[in-house]
Chain A
């Protein structure tokens, strides 16, 4: 109701302004605006709500608050316009997300659209972003096909890498440790029989083979598995020093607990999505130490530390260590591109594609072929912080602590 009223007022004002402009010969331009409309459709309900509620929604809200607290989005002429948000719930359904984005573009005519959560939904809306000419800063989508997508959809940006990147980085960590004599070259590997697990394990098999790593155990398990004791019993005695699980959050948590109960102590313990959640450290305390996963941060990056603190103050919870900071950085890039080029979407896309930006990730964040490649492929819990350890030659990389300490019994 309030929204409707506001819209009516806006429309009346726009009409009045344009009448004035017409009458007084360009005293005020019809383009004069009082706000910038930013729209998004994310999964607030349904199976995707969990992931979207951690990585995407809090960062959208934080960014809008940050911008509006500072007076609004800055335009090239130095004028600041506050953000007006139009948000929809896609109910975790592809059909809904497509319709919601079409509504944002065609009906609400928003200035910019922020992407939905998950690889599948970003792909579902990519043709729409392309047709209406909106830049798409797809963060929460891990895909090896990004180089193909940027050719198909020129204004799409892919910011979380692909399965191969993570698998190859992990292979290098294991191979290096094995060459140094810290661990043997045998690996036990399990993966969830769902999108993420399959992508990662399909990439990991050849990557491990190439790195000279012997996979002695390789099984998939159905999503939603709660009892891992049969698997743990089998891998405990097979002589592998490394245990890798490409798992989803519920299984990541279950595996951590059950490995402690079984007193299973691999020298490298690598778990999937959920390891970088703040709650993981809270639940496991000192026992989180040394566990590896995807993502990470540079603990000496002050901008990032400040972001994490503000995120916790504003949204009431700490951000995760993988997608959250990238989501926020993508919004900063958009903000900066708008400051440089205004609300012209073509120019903003071009600027995003070619420009260099100061973000919470680094002072020089930029796209390579419309993909963000300055990422932490492997991270490790060290002293309560999930730090990036690979690529090890990237500035700010921490050194992997190996072997992992044994579980501490309470």
Chain B
């Protein structure tokens, strides 16, 4: 470990500690805002954990987010709270492994389509179960959890997610993932167990996403499939990660925070034109920043550095 790494770790711990004190400084609305923002930061980072290096674009975010929310709704009265999160994480992991084994052999657009269908499949399964077995749709969550409590849980989850992402980036498994992303055939020839590696990462990423849903659900009081499995969550997560740059540790963070704040500002100031702006922004991201803000800035930076000495010399002459 060199000095730079230690400094980075110290900075990270200091940031998390500072953020933990935010609820004491800002008002209740500030806390709500931070909850929404942190939720998307964790979702985007967890999404990029798997989809960034492997380049498998997943639209299944809300499938797992919804599984987490629904688990809390179903067991909120029968299982004590901290255990409830473990159960939710376990179910999320189980679903991810089953789905992963079946689908991670798919590649490219087939995987995208499948993951999009997965969210709908799980939603319909839940609906079918509620219609035919319990005879009610919609469940109530009456848990005595304050917004601050939710905020701190999300902050802890964010810290863990960043730590995992950082560790993976430096480990052998991270290298293996990047090889898979660049060329699967080469990866196989290098002796990488590609299915195993992909499955492990997919499971990890999905478990974190499930936990976000489970932590946020008590804020809604009432959960039904159309609420828990809202496909917008998948799309927003994707676009946030892409804006920041899915291949870097802090990329999703830099995408999620500005986009979230902008959505909040748009819905407050242009409630009637929100969708139009949203569409324009999506198009702009794809055309102007296809590889993310971070990559864009780096490219500009190197371009500028390369040009500077040249222009300097011309000035001298």
Contacts and interface: CB of A to CB of B under 8 A. Distances in A.
Nearest to A196: B137
B272 interface: yes
B169 interface: no
A127 B222 contact: no
- Contact-size category for A: 35 or more
Contacts of B33: 99
Interface stretch (A118-126, A249-257, A292-300): A118-126
Given A99-B36, A107-B29, A194 B268 contact: no
Interface string A204-235: 00000000000000001010000000000000
B85 to A, nearest CB: 18
A265 interface: no
Interface stretch (A84-92, A320-328, A334-342, A384-392): A84-92
B221 A89 contact: no
A218 B62 CA distance: 33
B103 interface: no
A265 to B, nearest CB: 29
A123 B223 CA distance: 9
A377 to B, nearest CB: 21
A279 interface: no
A103 B136 CA distance: 32
A45 to B, nearest CB: 5
B274 A45 contact: yes
Contacts of B268: 88, 103
Contact of B274 (A44, A102, A198, A199): A44
Interface in A84-124: 87-96, 98-100, 102-103, 105-107, 119-120, 123-124
B131 to A, nearest CB: 5
Nearest to A96: B267
A193 B222 CA distance: 18
Interface string A340-376: 0000000000000000000000000000000000000
Interface in B226-254: 226-227, 230, 232-233
Interface stretch (B16-24, B122-130, B174-182): B122-130
B136 A198 contact: yes
A222 B125 CA distance: 11
Contacts of A119: 138, 222
A31 interface: no
Interface string B126-146: 011011100111101010000
SS class of chain A's interface: helix, strand, loop or mixed?
Answer: helix
Given A89-B274, A96-B267, A119-B222, A198 B140 contact: no
Given A95-B36, A107-B27, A202 B271 contact: no
Q: For A88, A91, A222, which residue has the most chain B Cβ atoms within 10 angstroms?
A: A91
Interface residues of B, number: 41
Contacts of A194: 127, 137, 226
Contacts of B140: 123, 145
A105 B27 CA distance: 11
A25 interface: no
Contact of A93 (B127, B136, B232): B232
A102 B226 contact: no
Contacts of B219: 94-95, 98, 124
A193 B129 CA distance: 10
B216 interface: yes
A340 B235 CA distance: 48
A3 interface: yes
Contacts of B216: 95
A50 interface: no
Q: For A45, A126, A145, which residue has the most chain B Cβ atoms within 10 angstroms?
A: A45
Interface in B19-45: 27-29, 32-33, 35-36, 39
Given A95-B39, A102-B32, A220-B131, A195 B267 contact: no
Interface in B33-63: 33, 35-36, 39
14 contacts: A88-B271, A89-B267, A89-B274, A91-B232, A93-B230, A98-B32, A106-B32, A120-B226, A120-B227, A123-B140, A193-B127, A193-B131, A199-B137, A220-B132
Given A195-B137, A202-B136, 14 more contacts: A89-B271, A91-B232, A94-B222, A94-B223, A95-B39, A102-B29, A106-B27, A106-B29, A120-B138, A120-B220, A120-B223, A195-B226, A198-B136, A199-B136
